[in-house]
Amino acid sequence: MKHVPIVIALLITCSLYSQETNSDTFWERLQQLCGKSFEGKLIVPENDAQFGGKALVMHVRSCTDTVIKIPLFVGDDKSRTWVLTYVNGLIELKHDHRHQDGSPDETTMYGGTASNPGKAQVQVFPADAFTAELIPAAATNIWWITVNETELTYNLKRVDTPRQFTMAFDLTKAIDNPGPPWGWTDN
């Protein structure tokens, strides 16, 4: 009987470590979208020079247990891919930018890693040191992605500036896949 408290403590510890985290739930929601494309709309700012008035399509194109790649098409521009990586219970967001020939843009792979497991529907990514060095003005960037049954939003706020950006994608209506982004090939 003297070992019963130790066994109980081990069972409690094992159950705590086997519980699904908010990061896990968020990742599973993204995985469920794999292979599908969705139309989006620019919410803020309405008249953005790069995104305003253009068709927005996200394609959850590539999924593994640890990496999800989501190309973003802005009109005819196929240069952007969101790269989400799941490591050690946290999710990292990077922005892969390519030229039309597939070569990397000089401003690419910026982003950040969530500092905690976040919420099941929201993950927040503060700018990392690489981003601060690559784009000094983006040192205070905070990106966040929300996902629920009907909508995925991609958001950016640059702290202490008016810079804010939000796109929303309708997950209730999958559309035809748009083909490969720049730098990718269809096999």
* Residue 180 located in a structural domain: no
What's the confidence (pLDDT) of residue 19?
A: 63
Q: What whole-number distance in Å separates Cα of residue 70 and Cα of residue 172?
A: 17
Residue 159 is assigned to a structural domain of this protein: yes
d(CA 14, CA 30): 27
CA distance 68 to 35: 11
Q: Which of 7 and 77 is assigned the larger pLDDT?
A: 77
Give the domain range for residue 42: 4-175
| Position 9 confidence tier, pLDDT thresholds 50, 70, 90 | very low
115-166 pLDDT, tens digit each: 999 999 999 999 999 999 999 999 999 999 999 999 999 999 999 999 999 9
- Taking only the tens place, the pLDDT of each residue in 36-94 is 999 999 999 988 889 999 999 999 999 999 999 999 999 999 999 999 999 999 999 99
Q: What is the pLDDT of residue 35?
A: 97
Domains of the chain: total: 1
Residue 181 belongs to some domain of the structure: no
pLDDT score, position 2: 54
Please indicate, yes or no, if residue 99 is contained in any of the structural domains. Answer: yes
Rounded to whole angstroms, the Cα distance separating 54 from 4 reads 65
> Which CATH number belongs to the domain containing residue 34 in this structure?
2.40.128
Asked, for residue 118, whether it belongs to a domain, the answer is yes
Domain-embedded: residue 185 = no
